[in-house]
Structure formats: structure tokens, C-alpha cells
Amino acid sequence: MPNGTALLTCMDHCKCDDAATCDLVCPKRPETFVRRFREVRGFGLENIPRKTTPELPKLPSMVTILEGQVAQRRPVELEFAAIPLTRALTGRGRKTRAKTAAELKRDHGVVAKTGWVLTGIEDDRYVERSWGLSGLRETFKAMKEAGAIFATSPNYSLYLDSPRQDNLHAMKRIAWMWYSMNEAGLPTALHINGRTDFDFERWADFIAARPEVTSIAFEFLTGAKLGVDADRYIARLEKLRASVGRPLLIAVRGAAEYARRLEKSFEQVLWLDATPYFKAMHRQEPTFGVDEVLRYRPRGGNPEAPIGALFKRLVCAAERRYHSSSLNLTPSPQHVLDLRLPPLPPQVRANNAAQQLHLFT
């Protein structure tokens, strides 16, 4: 809140100089605003259809995320592997389709023996690709047939300095995509994104009224990354779980510390971590000292040598560290989403956001 002043209206964060070039969901562009309002069928969550969701698969407490290929000739075998949701897509525009099992194996150099986990927590330039897909049901059904066993709904971002209506539109898109993915038979966690306490209370009411919501997702990579922010969001998530009053699985992106802290409130925590992948890309190998703290050192040797075996060692080391009772709770390195942002006022912290496309036309 600039200069300590209070926010009085939904438009107090509107700073646009030229409404004609703005892509926010804003009443200052009436025709566009009405179209965007209609595409999500209003900002309320009550009209999301009710449908029994698929049963959750048996999942481990940690799964490694890949954002590219780690092997070519000899794929690495893992029980579970995770990839960003849009990496399970190929093609452009109306030709976009889900990748096949063979394409997932080829593009990542990994065989996920039990199945793939798809994370909808991505950089905005990628996550927006999921909004506007044609043939949603067929696309997500094909992902399941290719080996996807669990997913999290896209984390459409909430702008910090934007009209409140834009935030409500983003949250409604999250809810619609969660429904669409489950309706296609792909077990999907509802991504929780909010800027205020009320946003989390609203999600809690939605989940409490719908027993079909059996899992949620949250990320500590951007707006909720910094220590003081993380504490606030963990408290909000704990309150949400208490308000819902039934078992929930939560899929977490961010430091291991935050995932472990949520274990006391949620029946299962699934930590999704990209550290082994990025360490392998930088040719760093894991090492444990007498203190059992996981550290990394340059691998040395031929920088062009294959990294499949190195990646497998990194995954095993990360799992050992996470399951260790002496876990060093120092936040682990993340990828480009791990932005270093300065602290912001308590009720106006948010993620960056990008252009928004259309699902319902």
C-alpha cells in the first residue's frame, strides 16, 4: 500500500497509462472485460460443475522434476518422474496435442516406471499455453494414456498491481482447469493461489463443500519464497486444512523446509524438486560429509560426457537427504522461477503474470 494509504476500491491498483493496450481483466475496457468475464462464466466458484474425481494414485513423498533431456542412448529408469505440464504437449495452435509415451521417454531420456507427474507450476510464458487448448478432454485423456498418473492444475498468476477483477479471473481459471483435468480422468490437485487472507478462506470454503477435492498444490518459488512470506503462507495453508476438516494431499514446489513443515498439517506432502536436474546440467555431483549434509562439487572430466548416471546419483542423493531425520533445512536451489524479490506489504504479495488466453468462447 503506497505511502501507507489504504486500498479503497478494486481499481486502486490500476496504473495503466493506456487502457487500449492493457491486457488485464479491467472494467476500463468494457467490451473486453465482459468477454473475459463470460469466458470463465463469472468470478464466483459456485458454478464449477460437481463431479466425482479420479482416485489418487499411491505417490511417494518426493519426485524429481525434469525440464529437459538427461540421456539419449540409454534412458534413466526412475519409479516416478515429474515434468512441467506444457512439456507433455507438442505442436502449436490447433495442432497442439499430448505427447505419447515414446515421445516423453525420448524428450527427457527417462523411463518413469510407475508414471509421470505433471506440474502446472511453470513460468508464465509457458503456463498460459494451457489456457485456450482445443479439445481439453481429449488432450488430458491422452496425457493419462501416455503415462501421466497425477497432475497439478496450472498456476495462473495473480498480478500485484492490477485491478482485483484480474485476480478473480485468474483464480476462476485455475478452478476451471482443475475441473477439466479431473473430468478427463487425470487425477489433479487444485492449485491454491491467492493474495489475501480472504482468498485462502474462499478456497477453503470451496474445498470444504466439495469432497471431490482430495489434493491441492502450492508453490513457494516466487511471491511466497522469502522467509517472512513463507511463514504467512504456511499459516494460511494450515488454517485452510483445519477449515476443510478432512484428509488432503498437498503437492509443494519450493524449498524442502517448507514441504517438511507442512507434514504436521496434511496427511501427505508431495515435494516436487528440480535441483537434481539443474545440478546435472551444471555437471555437479553429490557428496555427503561426516555431518550427513548434502553438498555438491564439480564433476570434472569431459564436459561433453553423458550425464544420465550423474543425474541418477543426484536423484538418489536428494531423496536420501529429504528423508533423513537430520535434514538441513537450508532452501535448495531452484530454476528461473526462483525470483529474488524484495519484501512487499502483507496483503499485496503476488506472483508475476502474463497475457491471458481463452478457454470458453
Compute the distance between CA of residue 49 and CA of residue 20 in angstroms, rounded to an integer: 34
**Secondary structure (3-state) at 94:** helix
Grid coordinates belonging to 305:
560426457
Give the pLDDT score at 163: 86
CA-nearest of 97, 46, 105 to 75 is 105
Q: What angle do CA 305, 307, 308 make, to 5 degrees?
A: 130
The parts of the chain modelled with pLDDT lower than 50 are: 1-6, 326, 328-361
pTM for this model (two decimals): 0.84
CB 159 within 8 A of CB 140: no
**Secondary structure (3-state) at 200:** helix
359 membership: H or E segment, kind and range: none
The residues pairing with 219 across neighbouring beta strands, listed in sequence order, are: 253
Q: What angle do CA 173, 177, 183 make, to 5 degrees?
A: 145
Grid coordinates belonging to 118:
505433471
143 membership: H or E segment, kind and range: helix 136-145
DSSP codes, 263-316: GGTSSEEEEEE-HHHHHHHTTEEEEE-TT--EEEEE--S-TTS--HHHHHHHHH
Strand blocks (E) in the chain: 62-64, 76-84, 89-90, 97-98, 110-119, 148-152, 188-191, 215-219, 249-253, 268-273, 284-288, 294-298
User: What are the angstrom distances between the C-alpha of 165 and each of 124, 186, 222, 344, 355?
Assistant: 19, 30, 21, 21, 15
Provide the CB-side half-sphere exposure for 104 (13 A, CA): 31
State the virtual CA torsion across 213, 42, 205, 163 in degrees, nearest 10. 120
Give the pLDDT score at 35: 87
3-state helix, strand, coil in the chain (%, to 5): 35, 15, 45
CB 86 within 8 A of CB 107: no
Q: Tens digits of per-residue pLDDT, 300-339?
A: 888 889 999 999 999 999 999 998 854 544 444 444 443 3
Compute the distance between CA of residue 217 and CA of residue 153 in angstroms, rounded to an integer: 8
Residues in CB range of 137: below 8 A, 6 or more apart: 180, 183, 184
Beta strand 188-191 pairing with 148-152: parallel
